[in-house]
């Protein structure tokens, strides 16, 4: 009988622990304080990016599909000329008919992604066996 009471106590403790942990995880903010603020246009561009499932083919920060190029720093490379790709329909990329304002919003989104960092990081070297080394840092 004593063992059953102990098991119930342990079970109740685990339930309370789970509820507390769940509350903490789902109520704490998830904003990234290191990322730049997105303006209203960039937020609309992100929504357009999501609605058109651009991540199915393109990557940002190495996450996403592999059919198209990683677009983390595409703005750095092409600047405002990046808009030329949005409706192009080149190769396997579908021909979208984005309005000018939608193109501006997508460009703002990609500009904000570009400002948030570099990918891949030129100072990081990934070895063939999966370790990561940083250029100029002595690991000994």
* Nearest alpha carbon to residue 60 among 7, 5, 113: 113
Domain boundaries 40-125, CATH class = mainly alpha
DSSP 14-32: HHHHHHHHHHHHHHS----
Q: Give me the chain's average pLDDT, please.
A: 83
SS3 59: strand
In the DSSP assignment, the letter for residue 44 is H
Instruction: Using the predicted structure, report yes or no on whether residue 138 has a pLDDT greater than 80.
Output: no
Q: Sorting pLDDT into bands at 50, 70 and 90, what band is 124?
A: low
- For the segment 45-79, what is each residue's pLDDT rounded down to a tens digit? 999 999 999 999 999 988 888 888 889 999 999 99
Q: What predicted TM-score, i.e. pTM, was given to this entire model?
A: 0.63
Interatomic CA distance for residues 11 and 4, integer angstroms? 10
Spans of all domains in the chain: 1-31, 40-125
Q: What's the token pair of residue 121? A: 């990081």
CA distances from 79 to 8, 82, 94, 100 (A): 63, 6, 22, 16
Query: What are the DSSP E strand ranges found in the chain?
Result: 59-60, 63-64, 124-126, 132-134
């Amino acid at each position: 009988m004593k063992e059953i009471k102990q098991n119930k106590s342990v079970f109740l403790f685990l339930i309370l622990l789970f509820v507390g942990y769940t509350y903490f995880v789902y109520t704490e903010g998830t904003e990234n304080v290191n990322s730049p603020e997105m303006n209203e246009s960039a937020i609309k561009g992100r929504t357009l990016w999501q609605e058109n499932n651009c991540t199915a083919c393109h990557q940002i920060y190495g996450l996403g599909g592999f059919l198209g190029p990683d677009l983390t720093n595409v703005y750095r490379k092409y600047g405002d000329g990046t808009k030329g790709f949005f409706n192009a329909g080149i190769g396997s990329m579908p021909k979208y008919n984005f309005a000018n304002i939608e193109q501006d919003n997508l460009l703002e989104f990609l500009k904000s992604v570009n400002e948030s960092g570099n990918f891949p990081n030129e100072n990081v070297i990934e070895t063939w066996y999966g370790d990561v080394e940083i250029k100029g840092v002595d690991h000994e």
